[in-house]
């Protein structure tokens, strides 16, 4: 009885290692192909770039594990940046208050998408598709589609500086990773996310507040999108409605490459961190090798398709056991 | 075993619309007792279980637990009150660990919602120890075998230290040695004072595990027997009740007619074991067997819905390799699923359009719809089946179950099929509609259409079938001809111990 379980366990463990092996292979190939790739400065820049979609990817893992999706994160980041610009440049708000306002707005919008899902049964794909357009439009409306330059040295430091030589965005990436890792492994909420995504009916009968879980995961991913928007704002030193285009793609792609089941209930933040680093290294490598930008897009799309196929094939196989 | 009842039900009544599911049931259970609960489909077993466990409220009657009258608002309330159920369908989350599943919804936590990991583990361990099983508590449930998952399911029910544990067909997914383990474990639980209601029809298991058995029929408790006074024949007679007044189908010997569907050595690992039969032109062949006997799997295997099938299926003497629904329909063999809602009707389409789905491109011409031809075929089929609908455009989802079923059968009819594979065609429909469907199948048989009629309501087999095959543990065991296929005979054979 136990031996069967153990075999399955071993196959699963091996598949996790499979992703790691592919990742290492990518590193080996790129380090031979480009002399610059393995240098410290390039590796740090990979980490910095990873932050701009990785932070969202970690929260997106929760969303997808709970059986939902959020495709509005890019527009949410653009709105956050624009809102900050408007509040500081046009309204003259102090920085801390403006930051707080941005997070509150983002959290509320995310929570409403979750509430629409929980109480009215609106699929999150549709609700966030609507938000994708609406938030983008709102950002452009606020800024008239012009960048609003923000003058704040301190703010730039916390978004674009370096601590002990490490880019600050990379630190945010690590912090969000650690926090969500602990949340998914050690908290009632985190485990409830898996229960809801795996079997919502059973979770409900067991007394888990399914509505609350759905609202919270959608609010959390919106907050990480706002954080991403603010980091971009610091990088560009302006409130900007044109940032974070395609953020949803890279974030969801990282989650899928990390092995999280699109059907919900299964997945891990650790898998996602490998997915994030994989995409970041791949993008960086393609730039170093001078790959045509259009061809880069084809490669990114292809990688996601392959990852989904592997994922589906894996679920089928375990379903047969 | 002490004699005061831990649970007592008095004159419980419950109706669903016109159906009297519970018609005054008295039932009591002693501490530490294992009670088998038997009865055919619709006898009221599940309703009784649902009332006791709080998912259905009785219309009248009382429920007394440990001497106090109780009224459950929800399954949660019943659980907290001391009654746990292990349902047939698993309620586990594959992505969570054994310990997390066992304690789901009751995860101990400290401030900020951090789980107390040690306490969670020890609570789960306590429940598993009570069962006397050793499972790695950290293992993901998705990595366990079905039998191990069943144990987790039971451990989950034990976390609240129930007074009464209800097991609903707990062995239907288990193999023989796993069943033995489970039975031993239930005995052990009972020895600790838990009262167990064991819903099952497996006559082999019941004497090994139960102290007494209660038999239900037509929403009443008809007998409660000590296990030593319950011979299989007596139990079968009690379950079946008096012979129904409806006339049995007039037996027609079709053994001389040509074989339209021939099945040889059909096997699916762990489900079907070497099933063979011939269906003759114009014959109605019944397949009898309980849940888990392989009834549905047999039809799926024939119709090409499974890929793990060995053996041969021939239509009209020609073997069909690489079977698929399309390939079978092309040979004029149609199947209707037992799951009418999900695999039968398309609820938002009109009843007429539901009827012509298969006929399109097969009987009706080409890819372009011809409104007139469609309409007349719809009208003709609805008339033949006497479907009651305001018009062919009425959404089929809004019709009664019986009329929905007629539409599903009508789909095969409109497409001019020769062989019908009917899986539980009368499930969940009223008596009147049932007799109409029996008559319809007989009429079709007269016209030469052969049917395989699968049913768990064994008494209806003799009403409609010329011949009945009894399926037990995935094998065709006995064949009964014509009026030999009385409900009692079929029941006794279907329940017979594994030979």
The pLDDT score that the predictor gives to residue A295 is 95
Q: In this complex, do A203 and B104 lie within 8 Å of one another by their Cβ atoms? A: yes
A5 and chain B: CB distance < 8 Å anywhere?
yes
The pLDDT score that the predictor gives to residue A196 is 92
Q: Where are the beta strands (DSSP E) in B269-316?
A: 272-280, 284-288, 310-315
For CA atoms A197, A202, A206, A211, give the dihedral sign: positive
Residue with tokens 């589906």: A312
Average pLDDT (B398-425) is 90
Chain B: nearest CA to A316, how far in angstroms? 13
The tokens of B216 are what? 């239900």
> What is the C-alpha R_g of chain A?
20
The pLDDT score that the predictor gives to residue B1 is 47
Of A305-319, B309-323, B379-393, B401-415, the least confident? A305-319
Average pLDDT (B72-100) is 85
Q: What CA–CA distance (Å, rounded) separates B440 from B427?
A: 16
Residue with tokens 């077993």: B45
The tokens of B172 are what? 């239907």
Pick the closest to residue B21 from B221, B199, B219, B241 (CA basis): B219
Residues from chain A that touch B143, judged by Cβ atoms under 8 A, are: 5, 8-9, 12
Residue B125 has pLDDT above 80, yes or no: yes
Q: What CA–CA distance (Å, rounded) separates B357 from B494?
A: 36
Q: In this complex, do B142 and A187 lie within 8 Å of one another by their Cβ atoms? A: no
Q: What CA–CA distance (Å, rounded) separates B69 from B429?
A: 35
Distance of CA B205 to the CA centre of its chain: 19
Pick the closest to residue B144 from A311, A6, A263, A199 (CA basis): A6
Distance of CA B362 to the CA centre of its chain: 33
Chain A: nearest CA to B313, how far in angstroms? 24
Q: What is the residue-wise DSSP string for B335-390?
A: EE-S-HHHHT--TTSBHHHHHHTTTTTTTS-SSS--HHHHHHHHHHHHHHHT---S
Pick the closest to residue B417 from B306, B279, B294 (CA basis): B279
How do residues B268-282 score in pLDDT, each as one tens digit? 888 888 899 999 999
Q: In this complex, do B104 and A65 lie within 8 Å of one another by their Cβ atoms? A: no
Give the up-direction half-sphere exposure of residue B119: CA atoms within 13 A in the CB hemisphere: 9
The pLDDT score that the predictor gives to residue B252 is 79
Buried b (16+ CB within 10 A) or exposed e, B459-471: bbbbbbbbbbbbb
Residues 6 or more apart in contact with residue B472 via CB below 8 angstroms: B289, B293, B493, B494, B496, B498
The tokens of B175 are what? 């193999």
Nearest CB neighbour to B115, from listed A187, A203, A206: A187
Nearest CB neighbour to A266, from listed B95, B115, B148: B95
> Going residue by residue through chain A (321 aa), what tens digit of pLDDT does each one get?
445 666 655 555 555 777 888 899 999 999 999 999 999 999 999 999 999 999 999 999 999 999 999 999 999 999 999 999 999 999 999 989 999 999 999 999 999 999 999 999 999 999 999 999 999 999 999 999 899 998 776 777 777 788 888 999 999 999 999 999 999 988 999 999 998 998 888 888 777 889 999 999 999 999 999 999 999 999 888 999 999 899 999 999 999 999 898 888 888 999 999 999 999 999 999 999 999 999 999 999 999 899 888 887 876 655 433
- Total residue length of chain B: 499
State the best of B79, B102, B142, B175 to mutate against chain A, taking most chain A CBs within 10 Å: B142
Residues from chain A that touch B92, judged by Cβ atoms under 8 A, are: 199, 202
CB pairs under 8 A between A and B: 82
The pLDDT score that the predictor gives to residue A5 is 62
Residue with tokens 């999108």: A225
| DSSP-assigned letter for residue B247 | P
The verdict on ipTM greater than 0.95 is no
| DSSP-assigned letter for residue B292 | T
The pLDDT score that the predictor gives to residue A13 is 55
Q: What CA–CA distance (Å, rounded) separates B427 from A306?
A: 44
How do residues B442-460 score in pLDDT, each as one tens digit? 989 999 999 999 987 777 8
The pLDDT score that the predictor gives to residue A274 is 94
CB B438 within 8 A of CB B422: no
Residues from chain B that touch A9, judged by Cβ atoms under 8 A, are: 139-140, 143
A263 and chain B: CB distance < 8 Å anywhere?
no
A193 and chain B: CB distance < 8 Å anywhere?
no
CB A111 within 8 A of CB A215: yes
The pLDDT score that the predictor gives to residue B340 is 83
Instruction: Give the whole-number percent of chain B exceeding pLDDT 90.
Output: 28
Q: In this complex, do A194 and B96 lie within 8 Å of one another by their Cβ atoms? A: yes
CB B182 within 8 A of CB A1: no
The pLDDT score that the predictor gives to residue B400 is 82
Which carries the bigger pLDDT value, residue B127 or residue A276? A276
The pLDDT score that the predictor gives to residue A51 is 95
Pick the closest to residue A217 from A63, A31, A1 (CA basis): A63
The pLDDT score that the predictor gives to residue A320 is 39
A195 and chain B: CB distance < 8 Å anywhere?
yes
B448 and chain A: CB distance < 8 Å anywhere?
no
Q: What CA–CA distance (Å, rounded) separates A236 from B54?
A: 60
The nearest alpha carbon in chain B to A267 belongs to B95
* Chain A from 27 to 86: CB within 8 A of any B CB: 65
CB B261 within 8 A of CB B420: no
How do residues B192-225 score in pLDDT, each as one tens digit? 889 999 998 777 788 888 999 999 988 888 889 8
The nearest alpha carbon in chain A to B90 belongs to A202
State the best of B115, B128, B141, B143 to mutate against chain A, taking most chain A CBs within 10 Å: B143
The nearest alpha carbon in chain B to A182 belongs to B114
Residues from chain B that touch A197, judged by Cβ atoms under 8 A, are: 95
The pLDDT score that the predictor gives to residue A7 is 60
The pLDDT score that the predictor gives to residue B318 is 93
- Angle formed at CA B34 by CA B227 and CA B90, multiple of 5 degrees: 125
Residue B242 has pLDDT above 70, yes or no: no
Chain A: nearest CA to B223, how far in angstroms? 34
The pLDDT score that the predictor gives to residue A1 is 42
The pLDDT score that the predictor gives to residue A319 is 45
The pLDDT score that the predictor gives to residue B248 is 64
- Angle formed at CA A173 by CA A167 and CA A174, multiple of 5 degrees: 95
SS (H, E, C) chain A: CHHHHHHHHHHHHHHHHHHHHHHHHHHHHHHHHCCCCCCHHHHHHHHHHHHHHHHHHHHHHHHHHCCCCCCCHHHHHHHHHHHHHHHHHHCCCCHHHHHHHHHHHHHHHHHHHHHHHHHHCCCHHHHHHHHHHHHHHHHHHHHCCCCEECCCHHHHHHHHCEECCEEHHHHHHHHHHHHHHHHHHHEHHHHHHHHHHHCHHHHHHCCCCHHHHHHHHHHHHHHHHHHHHHHHHHHHCEECCCCCCCHHHHHHHHHHHCCCCCCCCCCCHHHHHHHHHHHHHHHHHHHHCCCCHHHHHHHHHHHHHHHHHHHHHHHHHHHHC
How do residues B287-342 score in pLDDT, each as one tens digit? 988 767 788 889 999 999 888 899 999 999 999 988 999 899 999 999 998 888 78
Q: In this complex, do A194 and B93 lie within 8 Å of one another by their Cβ atoms? A: yes
The tokens of B209 are what? 């595990």
Chain B: nearest CA to A246, how far in angstroms? 30
B270 and chain A: CB distance < 8 Å anywhere?
no
A260 and chain B: CB distance < 8 Å anywhere?
no
The tokens of A171 are what? 């630190």
A212 and chain B: CB distance < 8 Å anywhere?
no
The nearest alpha carbon in chain B to A11 belongs to B143
B19's enclosing H/E stretch is: strand B19-30
Nearest CB neighbour to A208, from listed B75, B95, B105: B105
B113 and chain A: CB distance < 8 Å anywhere?
yes
Residues 6 or more apart in contact with residue B190 via CB below 8 angstroms: B32, B33, B34, B196
Pick the closest to residue A88 from A173, A167, A161, A156 (CA basis): A156
* Among B148-162, B272-286, B417-431, the range of highest mean pLDDT: B272-286
The pLDDT score that the predictor gives to residue B284 is 93
* Chain B from 176 to 195: CB within 8 A of any A CB: 178
A266 and chain B: CB distance < 8 Å anywhere?
yes
Pick the closest to residue B132 from B61, B75, B184, B193 (CA basis): B184
A319 and chain B: CB distance < 8 Å anywhere?
no
Of A302-306, B23-27, B359-363, B395-399, the least confident? B359-363
B55 and chain A: CB distance < 8 Å anywhere?
no
């Amino acid at each position: 009885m136990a031996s069967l379980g153990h075999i399955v366990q071993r196959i699963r463990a091996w598949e996790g290692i499979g992703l790691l092996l592919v990742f290492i292979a990518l590193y080996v190939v790129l380090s031979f192909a480009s002399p610059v790739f393995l240098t410290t400065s390039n590796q740090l820049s990979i980490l910095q770039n990873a932050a701009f979609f990785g932070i969202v990817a970690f929260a997106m893992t929760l969303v997808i594990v709970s059986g939902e999706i959020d495709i509005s994160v890019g527009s949410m980041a653009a709105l956050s940046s624009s809102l900050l610009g408007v509040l500081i440049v046009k309204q003259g708000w102090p920085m801390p208050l403006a930051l707080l306002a941005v997070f509150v707005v983002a959290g509320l919008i995310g929570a409403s998408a979750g509430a629409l899902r929980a109480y009215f049964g609106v699929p999150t794909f549709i609700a966030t598709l609507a938000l994708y357009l609406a938030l983008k439009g709102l950002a452009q409306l606020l800024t008239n589609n012009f960048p609003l330059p923000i003058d704040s040295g301190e703010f730039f430091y916390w978004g674009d500086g370096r601590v002990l030589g490490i880019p600050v965005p990379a630190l945010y990436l690590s912090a969000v990773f650690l926090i969500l890792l602990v949340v998914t492994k050690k908290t009632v909420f985190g485990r409830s996310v898996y229960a809801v995504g795996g079997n919502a009916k059973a979770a409900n009968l067991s007394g888990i507040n399914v509505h609350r879980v759905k609202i919270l995961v959608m609010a959390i991913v919106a907050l990480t999108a706002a954080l991403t928007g603010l980091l971009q704002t610091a990088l560009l030193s302006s409130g900007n409605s044109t940032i974070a285009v395609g953020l949803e793609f890279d974030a969801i792609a990282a989650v899928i490459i990390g092995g999280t089941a699109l059907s919900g209930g299964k997945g891990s933040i650790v898998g996602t961190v490998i997915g994030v680093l994989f995409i970041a290294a791949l993008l960086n490598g393609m730039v170093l090798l001078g790959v045509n930008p259009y061809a880069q897009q084809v490669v990114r799309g292809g990688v996601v398709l392959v990852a989904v196929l592997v994922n589906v094939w894996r679920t089928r196989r375990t379903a047969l056991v | 075993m002490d004699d005061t009842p831990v649970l007592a039900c008095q004159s419980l009544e419950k109706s669903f619309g016109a159906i009297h599911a519970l018609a005054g049931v008295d039932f009591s259970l002693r501490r530490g007792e294992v009670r088998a609960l038997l009865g055919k489909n619709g006898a009221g077993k599940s309703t009784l279980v649902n009332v006791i466990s709080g998912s259905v409220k009785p219309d009248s009657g009382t429920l007394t637990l440990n001497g106090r009258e109780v009224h459950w608002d929800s399954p949660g309330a019943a659980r907290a009150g001391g009654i746990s159920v292990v349902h047939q369908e698993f309620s586990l989350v594959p992505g969570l660990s054994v310990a997390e599943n066992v304690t789901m919804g009751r995860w101990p936590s400290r401030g900020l919602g951090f789980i107390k990991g040690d306490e969670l583990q020890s609570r789960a361990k306590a429940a598993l120890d009570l069962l006397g099983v050793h499972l790695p508590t950290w293992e993901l449930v998705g990595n366990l075998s079905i039998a191990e998952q069943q144990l987790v399911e039971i451990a989950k029910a034990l976390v609240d230290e129930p007074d009464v544990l209800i097991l609903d067909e707990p062995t239907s997914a288990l193999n023989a040695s796993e069943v033995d383990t489970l039975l031993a474990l239930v005995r052990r639980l009972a020895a600790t004072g838990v009262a167990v209601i064991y819903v099952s029809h497996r006559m082999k298991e019941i004497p090994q595990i139960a102290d007494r058995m209660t038999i239900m029929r037509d929403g009443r408790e008809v007998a409660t027997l000590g296990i030593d006074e319950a011979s299989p024949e007596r139990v079968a007679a009690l379950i079946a009740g008096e012979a129904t007044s409806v006339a049995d189908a007039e037996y027609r010997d079709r053994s001389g007619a040509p074989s339209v569907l021939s099945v040889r050595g059909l096997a699916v690992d762990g489900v079907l074991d070497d099933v063979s039969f011939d269906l003759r032109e114009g014959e109605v062949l019944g397949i009898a067997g309980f849940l888990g006997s392989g009834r549905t799997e047999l039809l799926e295997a024939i119709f090409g819905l499974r890929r793990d099938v060995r053996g041969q299926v021939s239509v009209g003497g020609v073997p069909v390799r690489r079977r698929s629904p399309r390939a079978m329909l092309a040979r004029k063999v149609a199947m209707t699923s037992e799951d009418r809602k999900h695999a039968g009707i398309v609820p938002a389409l009109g009843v007429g359009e539901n009827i012509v789905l298969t006929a399109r491109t097969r009987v009706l011409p080409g890819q372009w719809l011809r409104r007139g031809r469609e309409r007349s075929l719809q009208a003709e089929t609805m008339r033949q089946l006497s479907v009651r609908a305001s018009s062919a455009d009425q959404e089929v989802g809004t019709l009664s179950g019986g009329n929905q079923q007629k539409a599903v059968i009508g789909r095969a009819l409109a497409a001019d099929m020769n062989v019908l594979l009917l899986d539980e065609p009368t499930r969940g429909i009223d008596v009147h509609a049932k007799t109409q469907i029996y008559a319809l199948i007989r009429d079709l048989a007269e016209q030469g259409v052969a049917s395989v009629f699968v049913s768990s309501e064994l008494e209806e087999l003799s009403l409609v079938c010329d011949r009945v095959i009894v399926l037990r543990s995935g094998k065709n065991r006995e064949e009964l001809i014509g009026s030999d296929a009385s409900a009692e005979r079929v029941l006794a054979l279907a329940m017979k111990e594994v030979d």
